């Protein structure tokens, strides 16, 4: 049996969760902050693509992010309990379709599609997972499928956000020949 692995990565997960909770945030730059004990201090955990267009990114200090922000940028303190609740619901969906799931973070998991016999069937199952997450929870994710974890992860990045990309085992050499060395890190 051919090994087929998928990687699901929830797009800008914390920010998406906040947009689901408050639809008026849609289309605005949304920045999720892990506050520190000092007032008006913290670090950016994630942000949506509108905020990324302003050069705001994860790991950045709150002070620098505020300098880069525009007047419509929304800063929200992280609500990990809420995000964990949604994460459980997401991975319940993945568990429904796949016997072997390895969650590696609150918003990312590898799942084994080998039992679905062939890339065509594996692709159908991965797309069903993606569609159910969107229809039931309102969340987008990027999914990559390949013969191993590395290729699945690289494939998940190809069409981010809300992407889907499959690299069958017979196309791995061609896929890798188009990648930069930095894509492997």
| Residues forming the active site | 108
CA dihedral (139, 143, 149, 151) in degrees, to 10, reads -150
Q: For the chain, how many residues are written?
A: 185
Output DSSP code: residue 41: -
Per-residue tokens: 28 = 């605005």
Q: Is the dihedral of CA 13, 16, 22, 24 positive or negative?
A: positive
Q: Please list the residues that pair with 35 across neighbouring strands.
A: 42
Q: Please list the residues that pair with 46 across neighbouring strands.
A: 32
What is the C-alpha R_g of the chain?
A: 18
Q: Where are the alpha helices (DSSP H) in the chain?
A: 13-21, 49-52, 62-68, 80-97, 119-137, 149-158, 172-177
């Amino acid at each position: 049996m051919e090994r087929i692995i998928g990687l699901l990565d929830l797009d800008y997960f914390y920010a998406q969760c906040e947009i689901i909770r408050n639809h008026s945030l849609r289309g605005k730059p949304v920045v999720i902050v892990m506050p520190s004990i000092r007032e008006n201090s913290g670090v950016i955990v994630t942000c949506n693509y509108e905020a990324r267009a302003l050069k705001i990114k994860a790991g950045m200090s709150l002070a620098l992010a505020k300098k880069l922000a525009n007047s419509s940028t929304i800063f929200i303190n992280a609500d990990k309990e809420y995000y964990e609740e949604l994460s459980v619901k997401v991975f319940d969906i993945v568990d429904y379709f796949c016997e072997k799931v390895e969650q590696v973070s609150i918003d990312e998991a590898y799942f084994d599609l080998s039992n679905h016999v062939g890339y065509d069937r594996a692709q159908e199952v991965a797309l069903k997972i993606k569609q159910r997450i969107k229809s039931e929870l309102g969340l987008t994710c990027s999914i990559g499928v390949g013969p191993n974890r590395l290729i699945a992860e690289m494939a998940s990045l190809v069409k981010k956000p809300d992407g889907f990309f499959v690299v069958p085992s017979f196309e791995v050499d061609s896929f890798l020949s188009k990648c930069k060395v930095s894509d492997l890190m």
